Amino acid sequence: MEQKENEGDVKRQAIIDSVQDAVESFETGQRLNVAILTPPFSNFSIMSRDLHSSKGLSIKRHSISSFPEGEPLDEATGTINIIEGCQHLYRMRIGGFAVLKKFIRDINDDDKRLFITVWNANAFRYLDYALGIGKAFPLQVRIPELTLGDIREAIMASYDEDEIQFEYDEFQPRERVIEWMPTRARVFSKDMEIRLPRIESSALRRAILRRKVYLSAEDKVFTQIQYLSRGNLGAAKEIWIRSLQYPVIRPTYVLNACKKFMMDNEEAFVAANILRKGKVPMDELREDLGDQVALDATVATLKQKGIVKGGDGNLSIKAENLGFTLDSLAKHGMV
């Protein structure tokens, strides 16, 4: 079966159409700089050839990594510039926002050119709250969470019909609606580790649905993948790869592919910064966060918990655990 171009972005064309509208508005005199907000593990990329200028304006594509530090816009020589990887314009330390601030200032001042920027959505959200960068981009296009059908379509595109066997488990362990998670709490003036009940809303929802809707093994597998990946295709594919015992896949294989965990403040802080950058060198992280956390120990813990990976000096979030990582970061107010 033929793979779709850029299969990671099922809704890619709709995004490009929005950007094309911004190009056409620019040609008629209305400049709307664009921020395309991509989720983690997205391989979204927009090429010069994806856009068209009826007035023949030059469209050029650049990546932040190709710009000399401090002068990103001097190299952006097109009238319409696509700039990718904008989450790398800042460093998470005092003095680390100078390049980004100049970039935003220059974009605002330059009314002769249109800028189409691509950002990690988590980084953009943080920077918008911290520095208010959202005002510089009147048009913000967010790649939406994928639906069950989108994920199924994207994953199954790689296989022939009936190639994969979806099976129910012979023995289906009862899904627990209440999970007891270890956590630190202050009880009777003492800090202690206790197990706290946590209601698994998805399990509860499934427990209720089970009485009403019959799910085939295939539906159940993809429902679980969609929930565990939070609609993120990169995460969904990783969960699929880890669950599939070719050619068989079962719902329990999917559940076993992901790991549950909790993070303390230091771990969440480091994980959030890795998530925002997508992939970040350990040395960069040490320079930026080293004065706030015991970085080596924290990264070691994150690896041991299955949250972060990286053997080549670059750290990234483990895709299969994205859902639980986002849950935990939300508890620390970091996403």
Partner 1 sequence: MEDAILDFLATFSLDIPTLIYLFTVILVAVVAVRVVALTMNILAARFKSQGNKLRMLIPMFKLLVYAGVIFLILTSVFDLGSAEILVFSGLFGAAVGLGLKDVFADMVTGIIIVFEKPYHIGDRVRVEGHYGEVKDMGFRATRILTPDDDLVSVPNLLMFNTPVASTNYGSPHMMVTIDIYTDFDCDRQAVLGVLHEAVVTSRFSTIGNGYPVITLVKDFPYYVRFRVRSYVWEMADEFVYETDITVRAWNELRRMGVRPPRLALPEGIGG
186 makes contact with partner 1 (CB under 8 A): yes
**Could you give the CA distance from residue 139 to residue 233 in angstroms, rounded to a whole number?**
24
CA angle 244, 247, 250 (to 5 degrees): 50
CA distances from 92 to 98, 103, 109, 267 (A): 11, 16, 25, 15
Smallest distance, partner 1 to C-beta of residue 296, A: 16
Q: Total residues at the site for partner 1 (CB under 8 A)? A: 30
Residue 131 in contact with partner 1, rule: CB under 8 A: yes
- Side chain identity, residue 261: F
Q: C-beta of 205: minimal distance to partner 1 in Å?
A: 19
Q: Could you report how far apart the first and last alpha carbons of the chain are, in Å?
A: 38
C-beta closer to partner 1: residue 206 or 276:
276
User: Is residue 210 involved in binding partner 1 (CB under 8 A)?
Assistant: no
Q: Give least dist CB 153 to partner 1, A.
A: 34
Q: By CB under 8 A, what part of segment 166-185 binds partner 1?
A: 183, 185
- Residue 190 within binding range of partner 1, rule CB under 8 A: no
| Residues 185 and 264: beta-carbon distance below 8 Å | no
Q: Which stretch binds partner 1 (CB under 8 A): 32-40, 61-69, 70-78, 192-200?
A: 192-200
Q: Which of 93, 176, 205, 210 binds partner 1 (CB under 8 A)?
A: 93
Question: Rounded distance, CA 260 to CA 268, Å?
Answer: 14
**The pairing of beta strand 280-281 with beta strand 178-187:** unpaired
Q: In angstroms, what is the minimal distance from the CB of 94 to partner 1?
A: 4
* Per CB under 8 A, 165 contacts partner 1: no
Angle between helices 322-331 and 265-277 (to 10 degrees): 120
Q: Which residue, 116 or 317, is less far from partner 1 as judged by CB?
A: 317
Q: Concatenated DSSP letters for 90-102? A: --SSTTTTHHHHH
- Would you give the binding string for partner 1 spanning residues 31-70, x where CB under 8 A is met? ----------------------------------------
**Is 322 an interacting residue with respect to partner 1 (CB under 8 A)?**
no
Q: Does 293 bind partner 1 (CB under 8 A)?
A: yes
Is 11 a binding residue for partner 1 by CB under 8 A? The answer is no
CA quadruple 142, 2, 250, 318: dihedral positive or negative? negative
Vertex 244: Cα angle to 168 and 211 (nearest 5): 30
- Residue 15 in contact with residue 9, Cβ under 8 Å? yes
Stretch that binds partner 1, among 135-143, 146-154, 202-210, 326-334 (CB under 8 A): 326-334
Q: Are 303 and 314 in contact (CB under 8 A)?
A: no
**Minimum distance from residue 241 beta carbon to partner 1 (Å):** 33
**Dihedral sign for Cα atoms in the order 303, 309, 313, 315:** negative
Under the rule (CB under 8 A), what is the footprint of partner 1?
92-97, 126, 129-131, 183, 185-189, 194, 196-198, 265-266, 269, 289, 291-293, 331-333
